[in-house]
A = this chain, B = another copy of it.
């Protein structure tokens, strides 16, 4: 009945118009990554700026603020759909309207210059090329934090964009406890790994065969190809382009088929979340994913807990051999060991499951110190290299392998990195609970049956959209907020 409340109805209509614009922007962006001819980039940028400008104006209009206020005063039942949508519209409206348009434009300009400078800086491994741009971005980001407002660290104002309700103070405690535990797992894991190098997998795997195998796996875990597809890009991603249109990408190595396979399983994990969002709420917060940390939990769960398990390879080995006959030379256990090879290394995106979170913790510390003005941009390389050696036992010899390796800071993503580790912790926690809620789950997974697991995730996570913030959602799904117990237990079980 309450959907007949006029102010709410008007907001719904506006939200759906914005969703048409946003989803159109998403297809332009997907096309830019996949198929756009190189010289068409300038026009594409104009199209995207036009659409996002219009969507921004539609949402930040004074009228929208008034309608939200009217809805707040109307007093929808606290657990109603309407209350959840209004709450999220308010959050988003305040964040978007507290930054004056001229600062938003300034930020966009800085980002695009910084992105370009970073590309060159990484290429030549020259931090000084990136430094002045990063400094300008950071100054503006400090100003944004004040405009958004925050309690505690200014970091919280940024973190809230990606992980509603998360607090830097809590992350600091969580990560401080996590670090020595990982260190204690790392030593034995590295020792064990020496017997099964990644190069065990090296061979010749034609791309067409990889595509066929990946599709078989993606379909088996439940990704719906009537409502989605897989294309090729340098950096794999998943993007939802509207109801029933979810697109994954992966990249191929002809020497090692698992590069594309785990790319697909990771992105399909994101895609299953997208395909599980309630279509009737499309265009409103209840039809959107709640946070990056929850999104990443879905990708990590399918990639690591399903895809990198011994049961997975016991089931899929004969099927993989149909596509790649040379795999007959390896036993499932050998493939499992090779895809779980552990060794400290410089590059985050190539890191194994054990060391991955150390990469994140280092980045979180850099971000915190920068925002709390305990570290100058100019001193980041020295700080990074010192910390890196302490954590990984490796000496960084060039910044391209160090603090210049990731694109995030150059495009203004600050407070984003910790959501990767939150995703890892959430994944393990959800997986453990799914197994205890479904006593036959592990037996089913061993037979390559994934529907019970997917149904459980749909029920506990996907269908809620933004109804619950990440921590209430994790409590409802697993009985506890995000913590490292399940993650560490799972690492120990696999690696120690």
- A224 and B39 CA atoms in complex are apart in Å by 10
Of residues 7 through 37 on chain A, the ones whose CB sits less than 8 Å from some CB of chain B are 17, 20-21, 23-24, 27-28, 31, 35-37
Partner of A36, one of B24, B39, B50, B245: B245
For residue A13, give the distance in angstroms from its CB to the closest CB of chain B: 12
Asked if A100 is at the interface of the complex by the 8 Å CB criterion, the answer is: no
Inter-chain contacts of A36 with B (CB < 8 A): 245
Asked if A268 is at the interface of the complex by the 8 Å CB criterion, the answer is: no
Asked if A38 is at the interface of the complex by the 8 Å CB criterion, the answer is: yes
Question: What mask results when residues 45 to 69 of chain A are scored 1 for a CB within 8 Å of chain B, else 0?
Answer: 0110011000000000000000000
Asked if A278 is at the interface of the complex by the 8 Å CB criterion, the answer is: no
Asked if A244 is at the interface of the complex by the 8 Å CB criterion, the answer is: yes
Asked if A226 is at the interface of the complex by the 8 Å CB criterion, the answer is: yes
Inter-chain contacts of A27 with B (CB < 8 A): 27-28, 31
Are the C-beta atoms of B225 and A17 separated by less than 8 Å? no
CB nearest to A282 among chain B residues? B43
Inter-chain contacts of A229 with B (CB < 8 A): 35, 37
Q: How large is the interface on A (under 10, 10 to 19, 20 to 34, 35 or more residues)?
A: 35 or more
Partner of A43, one of B42, B43, B243: B243
Asked if A241 is at the interface of the complex by the 8 Å CB criterion, the answer is: yes
Are the C-beta atoms of A23 and B43 separated by less than 8 Å? yes
Question: What mask results when residues 146 to 161 of chain A are scored 1 for a CB within 8 Å of chain B, else 0?
Answer: 0000000000000000
- A37 and B246 CA atoms in complex are apart in Å by 8
CB nearest to A48 among chain B residues? B24
Asked if A119 is at the interface of the complex by the 8 Å CB criterion, the answer is: no
- Asked, given contacts A24-B28, A27-B27, A28-B27, whether A227 binds B40 with beta carbons under 8 Å apart, the answer is yes
- Asked, given contacts A27-B31, A28-B27, A31-B27, whether A20 binds B46 with beta carbons under 8 Å apart, the answer is yes
- Asked, given contacts A24-B24, A27-B27, A50-B20, whether A39 binds B242 with beta carbons under 8 Å apart, the answer is no
For residue A370, give the distance in angstroms from its CB to the closest CB of chain B: 38
Are the C-beta atoms of A37 and B242 separated by less than 8 Å? no
Are the C-beta atoms of A47 and B245 separated by less than 8 Å? no
Question: What mask results when residues 197 to 238 of chain A are scored 1 for a CB within 8 Å of chain B, else 0?
Answer: 000000000000000000000000000111111010000000
Asked if A44 is at the interface of the complex by the 8 Å CB criterion, the answer is: yes
- A27 and B44 CA atoms in complex are apart in Å by 10
CB nearest to A16 among chain B residues? B46
Inter-chain contacts of A51 with B (CB < 8 A): 24
- Asked, given contacts A47-B24, A51-B24, whether A244 binds B39 with beta carbons under 8 Å apart, the answer is yes
- A46 and B37 CA atoms in complex are apart in Å by 26
Are the C-beta atoms of B20 and A242 separated by less than 8 Å? no
For residue A254, give the distance in angstroms from its CB to the closest CB of chain B: 15
- Residue of A24, A28, A36, A226 with most chain B CB atoms under a 10 A cut-off: A24
Inter-chain contacts of A37 with B (CB < 8 A): 225-229, 244-247
- A495 and B44 CA atoms in complex are apart in Å by 47
Of residues 239 through 292 on chain A, the ones whose CB sits less than 8 Å from some CB of chain B are 241-247
- A428 and B228 CA atoms in complex are apart in Å by 45
For residue A406, give the distance in angstroms from its CB to the closest CB of chain B: 29
The 8 A-B pairs at the shortest CB distance, nearest first, are namely A40-B245, A39-B244, A43-B242, A39-B227, A40-B244, A20-B50, A39-B226, A37-B227
State the A residues within 8 Å of B (CB).
Answer: 17, 20-21, 23-24, 27-28, 31, 35-40, 42-44, 46-47, 50-51, 224-229, 231, 241-247
**A-B CB contact pairs (8 Å), 10 listed:** A17-B50, A23-B43, A24-B51, A36-B245, A37-B225, A38-B227, A42-B243, A43-B243, A43-B245, A44-B245
Q: Assuming A39-B226, A39-B244, what are 16 further A-B pairs, CB within 8 angstroms?
A: A20-B47, A20-B50, A23-B47, A24-B50, A27-B28, A31-B31, A35-B229, A37-B227, A37-B229, A37-B245, A38-B227, A39-B224, A40-B245, A43-B243, A43-B244, A47-B242
